[in-house]
Amino acid sequence: MEFKQFSQVAILLGMVVILIFFVLCKVLYSWLVLPKLKYQKLKENGFEGPAPSFPLGNINEMKKELMNTASSATSSPSLSALKISHDIHSLAFPYFAKWQKLHGKVFIYWLGTEPFVYIADPEFIKKMSAGVMGKSWGKPTVFKRDRKAMFGKGLVMVEGDEWVRHRHLITPAFTQANVKGMASLMAESAKNMLDRWTALIDSGNPEINVEKEIINTAGEIIAKTSFGINYENGEKVFNKLRSMQFTLFKSTRYVGVPYGNLIMCPKETLKAHNLGMEIDSLLMSIIEDRKKMKKDDLAQHDLLSLLLAGNGKTLSTRELVDECKTFFFGGHETTALALTWTLLLLAVHTEWQTQLREEIKQVMGDAEIDPIRLACLRKMGWVINEVLRLYSPAPNVQRQTREDIQVDNLVIPKGTNIWIDLVSMHHDKQLWGEDVNEFKPERFKDDMIHGGCKHKMGYLPFGFGGRMCIGRNLTMMEYKVVLFLILTNFSFSISPNYRHCPSIMLSLRPTLGLPLILQPL
């Protein structure tokens, strides 16, 4: 009897040892063997770059450069409101700025065991993308896994025929006609924000952190215009999405290291997962409530109504939740940050506040907001284009190859990740000239699309190819409505408490907010 029990225990222990050995072998293979094979193949294909140290790749060097930059940015007097430089590439991406000097504008770097082809050369992008359809580009698998809680399988993450299906169903919500119909709702939320500003100024508080205000207002706008939900429900979703954003992008994490986040930062990984579940539950209830509404009661122009109708081609409930998360986050973040950076630049260059007010008076007169007339504000168009060049809220474009791609003497293997550095290209003297880091909206006067850039692929504010931002019409309309109302109600200047330290937290944002001094007109 004892021998039998001993045998059973020995067998069980043996199985545990074999399992542990198998797991260790799998981890070691994914941490060391496989990335070294990839590294060797990329070197044979002609790529150079900073030497990786597996399984972390170049992560430690990237973190070190970021820490050094953050330390100097928050302490240096040269970054105060009195001296604002728009030469921000070395602030936003200090490691890329360093590696560019050593390896040029095309090289390989490693997030953990995942290789990325870094590109800041528009000619290389042109050759690489020639003949590649939108659905033939993938998204980096490592980001799809890491950001699953935030985006799921929404439009920014799906690929191939699924991407085509999703985009076909979503595109009708963003036609010019539908977007124009949302202008009054945008104005209503913006006016509520301006009323709060007036109350604060009247109470003796003219300094306002406009970044926070605008982000909240943009969230309210997207909740109303795209999903037809009230502010209370929208605020719940946004607060949880914001918390998830901080969890995923502000903490010390190990993206690209197999099992890295589970082993080295389990607390943040679990928190992001739980937030994702809570957001899913909130959106499920919103979707189910909308499904119960009578067809005649649905506002047929908003995104959720169109996705629910589907014209015979509907999305599953799970897909609807993921698209809601994608547009809840992406639909307000880009516009809010574009407006925030615009107010910073106009606060520094007050002569452009005057020029825009004069144009508004000439074009709009004393009329209420008119989407058709808003489209005629040419100088405002120059300003937004220049803002998106100097402070692009979406600072990079990410892709993954689905086939081998040859560019000159370099071969990008199938499955390789691509990272296009828009901040670098938008601040490149070779493309824009010696005044590249100056705020000069007039550069778009005679070339509204490229702003005089010497290469047509050198200015990509909304991405490129078939996967360009689907909501750009909505972004432009919301931007003009809100900026129009701010300019016609307030003048503003930079607060001496502002510290200029742009940083990346998925998007390009002012690390310490944007305090402005406002004066009613």
- B/e letters for 315-325, b = 16+ CB within 10 Å, e = fewer, are beeebbbbbbb
Phi-psi bin for 7: left (phi > 0), alpha (psi -120 to 50), beta? Answer: alpha
Helix (H) or strand (E) holding 108, with range, is: strand 106-111
Cβ atoms within 10 Å of 237's Cβ, excluding its own: 23
Give Cα 159 distance to the centre of its chain: 18
3-state secondary structure (DSSP) of residue 258: coil
Give yes or no for a contact between 163 and 134, defined as CB atoms under 8 angstroms apart: yes
The encoded tokens of residue 282 equal 């909130």
CA distance 492 to 347: 6
Pick from 371, 109, 83, 368: which is nearest to 225 by CA?
Answer: 371
Cβ atoms within 10 Å of 188's Cβ, excluding its own: 13
> What residue has token string 């997030």?
111
CA distance 402 to 391: 31
469 labeled binding residue: yes
Contacts of 482 (CB under 8 A, 6+ apart): 186, 190, 214, 217, 218, 335, 339
Pick from 92, 89, 115, 113: which is nearest to 101 by CA?
Answer: 89
Q: What's the first-to-final CA gap in the chain, in angstroms? A: 94
Contacts of 266 (CB under 8 A, 6+ apart): none
Which backbone phi and psi does 412 adopt, to 5 degrees? -95, 110
Please give the DSSP secondary-structure letter assigned to residue 31.
I
Known binding site for heme: residues? 469
Binding-site residues sit at: 469
